[in-house]
Amino acid sequence: MRIAIVHFHLQTGGVTRVIEHACRALALGGHEVVVLSGELPQQPQGFPARVKLVPALGYEERREPLGPSALRDKMTQAAAEALGATPDLWHVHNHCLGKNLALPGALFQLAESGQRLLLQPHDFAEDGRPALYRRMLETLSAQDSAALSARLYPLAPQIHYATLNARDLGFLGAAGIPAQQLHELPNAVALASPAASGSPTDSPKGSPALPARSRLWLYPTRAIRRKNLGELLFWAAVAGTEDRFGATQAPQNPLEQPPYQRWVALAEELALPVDFELGARTADFGALLASSHALITTSVGEGFGLAFLEPWLIDRPLAGRELPEITSDFTADGIDLSGLYRRLPVPLDWLDAEALRRRLDQALAITADAYRRPRDRDDLDRAWGAATDGAGRIDLGRLDEEAQAQVLRRVRADPSAPSALDATSPPLADDPDVIARNRALVEHHYLLEGYRHRLEAIYQSLLAAPSTAIGDQADGEALITQFQAPERLWLLRT
């Protein structure tokens, strides 16, 4: 097969890693692949496929300003130059996110001409991205969700959709995408084990030397808001003297920098045992992983959840917050995540509860306006009920940065504060047998060879489908209703 993979950029991170895995998997099957991107990879020599730069594919704020028809022509030309002919199919990542306003129209035109498309959303503008959704409404001549859906989610036999998880599969199915055009495609996992000489107390070259007998809880993440850095700092605030915490990467998005820098400043102010940007301070990331006591995640929103799978492949336990919407796929495969917590309750009387309710209400109003969704009378009660436990406590992850910072200051200032908490160290299931079983299950279900077979099967079903005119679209209002349920409100995602 001749395959063109399309994405806005190839910066280090989740979608780029998925594309790299797909390229390696497809190469094993003898397929010809080109990746079209608005930006070249940061390390082009190590990228596992040919890359063609199409500047108009980049993010809206910095891309070459071409319209849909011109972008379609540029993509077609670049793919044909690399593959020697028009692609048999196009595999496009995150087309519906609103990061590039010309791409949905270009893809619509490709599909209208009979080209076969596999559209793979990792994230949705309908899911906690109100600014992106509103921008599409205002700039794509789409006056309502139905008109926008016609551009984002067109239906024809030659257009298929792939989701990362069962939640998104169910949401898109409920929105009207036919089952034969809808596939679940979980990401591949490929992470080399640390060197055998690595031990939990080794310090990687170039990183801060850890105190003797310290335990490093490492959060391998780019610290954007939904990664919930305040919760990592909470664990540092209540930790014992032997514990130290670390995050690996700073956010690249300028809009994410101010909240991140406030966390860095607060950690310094409160003398928290936290190190930032450890990944940028070592040339050997494997050694950094090997130096950890455990890996940790405090994220409140993921598309797939590599963080719940990768630790086991390097024989490290995982601590932190479970996301049942995402992790239910993994536990269905037998992976044991019982050491994770689903809520981190803190006393409401540490905070101004009425002010918090007002902020929740304001967030609901803002998102309802952005998505042009009518509010129900009980929306606030539903959101408040999901955030609190009925026993005078609220989940730390449901708070915004201001309230989380109040909790951290209370914990550091009041020696009696930890007695009101359920735990003063992240719960951890570090039984070697659990780690070994989880590793075997991840290897069985999620390594590259299995991913290749799933991907090839989806491609074959797409190639076997007839090509017709586009005559329908998914129900965008149904997607909004599902993604914007008040129970799913997290202030860190607004």
329 domain residue, yes or no: yes
Q: Is 79 left (phi over 0), alpha (psi -120 to 50) or beta?
A: alpha
Which CATH number is 160's domain given? 3.40.50.2000
471 domain residue, yes or no: yes
Judge if 76 and 217 occupy the same domain. no
φ/ψ of 389, rounded to 5, equals -115, 5
Question: d(Cα 295, Cα 337) in Å, to the nearest integer?
Answer: 13
φ/ψ of 26, rounded to 5, equals -70, -35
Q: Quote the mean pLDDT of the chain.
A: 93
User: Distance between the two ends of the chain, CA-based, in angstroms?
Assistant: 41
208 domain residue, yes or no: yes
Number of separate domains in the chain: 3
Judge if 436 and 321 occupy the same domain. yes
Judge if 441 and 452 occupy the same domain. no
131 domain residue, yes or no: yes
136 domain residue, yes or no: yes
Taking residues 488-494, what's their average pLDDT? Answer: 94
366 domain residue, yes or no: yes
Residues 6+ apart with CB under 8 A from 142: 136, 148, 150, 151
Judge if 328 and 217 occupy the same domain. yes
State the residue range of the domain holding 246: 194-341+423-446
- So what's the pLDDT on residue 142? 66
Residue with the larger pLDDT of the pair 146 and 182? 182
Judge if 415 and 427 occupy the same domain. no
| Residue 73 banded pLDDT, cuts 50, 70, 90 | very high
- So what's the pLDDT on residue 370? 87
494 domain residue, yes or no: no
| Residue 494 banded pLDDT, cuts 50, 70, 90 | confident
Judge if 285 and 184 occupy the same domain. no
Name the residue among 246, 243, 233, 247 with its Cα closest to residue 213. Answer: 243
Judge if 117 and 64 occupy the same domain. yes
Is 67 a residue whose pLDDT tops 70?
Answer: yes
Taking residues 12-17, what's their average pLDDT? Answer: 84
Taking residues 318-327, what's their average pLDDT? Answer: 97
Judge if 143 and 246 occupy the same domain. no
Judge if 16 and 119 occupy the same domain. yes
Q: Which residue has the tokens 């929306």?
A: 379
3-state secondary structure string, the chain?
Answer: CEEEEEECCCCCCHHHHHHHHHHHHHHHCCCEEEEEECCCCCCHHHCCCEEEECHHHCCCCCCCCCCHHHHHHHHHHHHHHHHCCCCCEEEEECCCCCCCCCHHHHHHHHHHCCCCEEEECCCCCCCCCHHHHHHHHHHCCCCCHHHHHHHHCEECCCEEEEECCHHHHHHHHHCCCCHHHEEECCCCCCCCCCCCCCCCCCCCCCCCCCCCCCEEEEEEEECCHHHCHHHHHHHHHHCCCCEEEEEEECCCCHHHHHHHHHHHHHHHHCCCCEECCHHHHCCCHHHHHHCCCEEEECCCCCCCCHHHCHHHHCCCCEEEECCHHHHHHHHHCCCCCCCCECCCEEEHHHCCHHHHHHHHHHHHHHHHHHCCCCCCCCHHHHHHHHHECCCCEEEHHHCCHHHHHHHHHHHHHCCCHHHHCCCCCCCECCCHHHHHHHHHHHHHHHCHHHHHHHHHHHHHHHHHCCCCCCCEECCHHHHHHHHCCHHHCCHHHC
- The per-residue b/e assignment along 177-187, b for 16 or more CB within 10 angstroms, e otherwise, is beeebbbbbbb
Is pTM beyond 0.85 here?
yes
Judge if 117 and 45 occupy the same domain. yes
Taking residues 309-327, what's their average pLDDT? Answer: 96
| Residue 228 banded pLDDT, cuts 50, 70, 90 | very high
405 domain residue, yes or no: no
Q: Which of 137-141, 221-225, 298-302, 313-317 has the lowest mean pLDDT?
A: 137-141
364 burial type by CB count under 10 A (0-12 exposed, 13-18 middle, 19+ buried):
buried
Taking residues 341-347, what's their average pLDDT? Answer: 98
Name the residue among 262, 264, 292, 265 with its Cα closest to residue 277. Answer: 264
Name the residue among 145, 76, 66 with its Cα closest to residue 113. Answer: 76
Q: Which of 27-41, 83-97, 210-224 has the lowest mean pLDDT?
A: 210-224
- So what's the pLDDT on residue 198? 37
φ/ψ of 304, rounded to 5, equals -120, -55
Is 453 a residue whose pLDDT tops 70?
Answer: yes
Judge if 211 and 285 occupy the same domain. yes
Judge if 26 and 54 occupy the same domain. yes
Share of the chain above pLDDT 70, in %: 95
